Amino acid sequence: MKYNFDSSPPKYLKERRRSDTEVLLCDGIVDVSPPDNELKEEPDELIRYYEVHCKRINGRDINLLEGLELHSSVFNATEQNEIVDYIYILQRRGQQGRLRERTYSKPRKWMRGKGRETLQFGCCYNYAVDKNGNPPGISRTEEVDPLPRMFKQMIKRMVRWKIIPPTCVPDSCIVNIYDVGDCIPPHIDHHDFVRPFYSVSFLNKAKILFGSNLKAVRPGEFFGPASISLPVGSVFVLKGNGADIAKHCIPSVLSKRISITFRKMDKRKLPYTYSPDHDLVGSSQFSSNNVLTRQRVLNLNLIQFGRH
User: Looking at residue 59, what is its pLDDT?
Assistant: 80
User: Looking at residue 41, what is its pLDDT?
Assistant: 33
User: Looking at residue 13, what is its pLDDT?
Assistant: 28
pTM for the model:
0.79
Q: What is the mean pLDDT of residues 244-252?
A: 95
Point out which residues pair with 104 in neighbouring strands.
119
- Euclidean distance between CA atoms 242 and 297, whole angstroms: 24
- Euclidean distance between CA atoms 80 and 103, whole angstroms: 22
More confident position, 25 or 252: 252
For residue 113, what pLDDT band results from cuts at 50, 70 and 90? low
With beta carbons less than 8 A apart as the criterion, state whether 125 and 270 touch. no
pLDDT in tens, 250-287: 999 999 999 999 999 999 999 999 999 999 987 655 55
More confident position, 13 or 85: 85
User: Looking at residue 18, what is its pLDDT?
Assistant: 38
User: Looking at residue 283, what is its pLDDT?
Assistant: 60
Greatest alpha-carbon pair distance for the chain in Å reads 62
Among 50-64, 81-95, 127-141, top mean pLDDT goes to 81-95
Percent of the chain with pLDDT over 90: 61
pLDDT in tens, 184-237: 999 999 999 999 999 999 999 999 999 988 999 998 999 998 999 999 999 999
Q: What is the mean pLDDT of residues 98-125?
A: 87
Extents of the domains making up the chain:
45-273
pLDDT in tens, 151-168: 999 999 999 999 999 999
More confident position, 135 or 291: 135
With beta carbons less than 8 A apart as the criterion, state whether 232 and 196 touch. no
pLDDT at 100 over 70: yes
CATH number for 45-273 (one of 3.40.190.10, 2.20.28.10, 3.40.50.300, 2.60.120.590): it is: 2.60.120.590
Average pLDDT over the chain, rounded to whole?
A: 79
User: Looking at residue 33, what is its pLDDT?
Assistant: 29
